[in-house]
Amino acid sequence: FNTLETGLDTVKKDSLRQVLGIISTETYLQENLSWYAVAEQALDALPGDGRVLLLYEPRSLYCSPRCAPDEILDRWQRSRANQADDASILAEWRADGFDYLLVNQAGVDFLRDGSDPHHPAEDITALDAFLSKLPVRASFGGTYILYDLEE
């Protein structure tokens, strides 16, 4: 059953067509990663060598080492616990060398109801307030939002 399931998944995701060169790598990635692939392409096109901090996004597939993923979805909580206020969080991220912030807005919206004890509603509300102060550089289908951290 595992072999059958893996084979069907491979066919469904067009992996063979990509390997055989029938569809491009970009098409394959966009079909399988959706807005994440679009966001990653935009990150690659950012000016200079600015680093990107990811929030609520554990993947950094094609963005590493420029991007720092949020592997266990706790970066916001850790930053909030370690810093007194939003200005201190922003200063910390800038001091760590980050110029941009990519937020998985769909992930944040999923956690918004506060039913996950690891992501209480007050953390999401505080994140919303923090993000409202940052300039938006780009939105990718409303699923990912890229913010400028530069002064």
CA distance 126 to 138: 21
Distances (CA, A) of 56 to 6, 65, 101, 151: 28, 18, 11, 23
* Phi–psi pair at 136, nearest 5 degrees: -85, 125
Indicate the pTM of the whole model. Answer: 0.83
First to last CA, the chain: 55
For position 2, what pLDDT does the model report? 82
pLDDT in tens, 78-125: 999 998 899 999 999 999 999 999 999 999 999 988 788 889 999 999
For position 19, what pLDDT does the model report? 60
